Amino acid sequence: MDKETVLHVNGDREALPVFSPALRAVAQVISYLLHPLFIPIIVTFLTVQALPEYFVNFKQASLRFAYDTLYFRVIMISVLFPLLTVMLAKALRFIDSIYLHSQQDRIIPYVASIVYYFWAFYSFKRQGVAPAFFNAFFLGVFLAVIISFISNIFVKISMHTTGWGGVIGFLLALMFGMHMNVTIALVITVFVAALVATARMVLSAHSSADVYAGLLVGIFSQLLAYAVIG
């Protein structure tokens, strides 16, 4: 099997196998479907469905269907605004690719995401109707983006595994902080995180250390956020 190298977090280069085109295509689909942009709306939807009693005020503010204003708000902040930022940066030639392969290309999206997620956290917190653990989730995302942005100066940690590590951290916070039984959800999320990590390595997008670093940043950020305001 052929090999190619990726830059390791400590500056060394790690040789990774080059997989078949079919396997790489599957890995690419997984990377798209489980992209970190979609994580906040996935977490919001599943949390609302599992714990509707914490989101009564949002249901009362619905317009066409239950919780529609909440879903629209999260989609705008976590999907549409970041996508528009990347598209605009590409159109103005501030970045080379919308896929953000290089550390330099990630600078503008990171800075924009820091603003977006702080706005999300601050607006939910100030509104005063979202449960504390939901506010903590967005604070955790904000912290994870800041840590990733600072780390990006030196290494290119995986945004995909940072996102799914954040979901693991969020579930751990619910389990140990609120004594909720989220065992099944946690097991499924760990499996998904492992699947995403494998896909990123199959695509040679990251070294193994980049992937593990992303998971640790995501988990740590959520646990820290919950410790602060959860």
Looking at this protein, which amino acid is placed at residue 196? V
pLDDT, tens digit, 9 for 90 and up, residues 20-60 = 889 999 999 999 999 999 999 999 999 999 999 999 999 99
Q: What is the DSSP string of 156-178?
A: ---HHHHHHHHHHHHHHHHHHHS
How high is the pLDDT of residue 159?
96
Label residue 227 by pLDDT band (50, 70, 90). very high
What phi and psi values does residue 35 have, to the nearest 5 degrees?
-65, 145
Q: What is the pTM of this model?
A: 0.90
Measure the CA–CA gap between 203 and 25, rounded to whole angstroms: 9
What pLDDT does 10 receive? 46
* Other Cβ atoms closer than 10 A to 29: 11
Closest CA to 19 of 168, 226, 198: 198
Which tens digit of pLDDT belongs to each residue from 172-207?
999 999 999 999 999 999 999 999 999 999 998 888
Length of the chain: 230
